[in-house]
Amino acid sequence: MTSSDSKKIAAGEERPEALRSFEAAARSGGVKPVDQGLTAKNDTAPLPDDNQRKARTATQVLQAGVEKDPKAATKAVQDSDDPRIP
């Protein structure tokens, strides 16, 4: 991130959680969705979570991105027991 990027985030605002951002990009053909900005929304806000679970899932999502398989990325997140996934 450049210093100009950090200036765009107001004090006290949270950034979107990386795992949810990766999932959204995988669903959008490997490109960040237009409506996903630098600040977290309700569906991308960070929640307390197990770091090992997040790392394992992020690895699977990134691998799916390398393989250009958005369905595998979605499945990895859905199978991850992420507290945001119903």
Which residue range is the domain that position 56 belongs to? 14-78
Least confident of 15-24, 39-48, 52-61, 71-80: 39-48
Is residue 1 domain-resident?
no
Examine residue 66 and state whether it is found in any structural domain, yes or no: yes
Confidence (pLDDT) at 3: 47
Is 2 inside a domain boundary? no
Residue 23 domain-assigned (yes or no) = yes
Work out how many domains the chain is built from and give that number: 1
pLDDT at 1: 47
User: Looking at the domain assignment, is residue 74 inside a domain?
Assistant: yes
Dig out the tokens for 18 from the structure.
């990386």
CA-atom Rg of the chain in angstroms: 13
Model confidence, pTM? 0.47
Residue 51 belongs to a domain: yes
Long-range contacts of 45-50 (CB under 8 A, 24+ apart): 45/14, 45/16, 45/17, 46/14, 46/15, 46/17, 47/17, 47/83, 47/84, 49/82, 49/83
Whether residue 7 lies inside any domain: the answer is: no
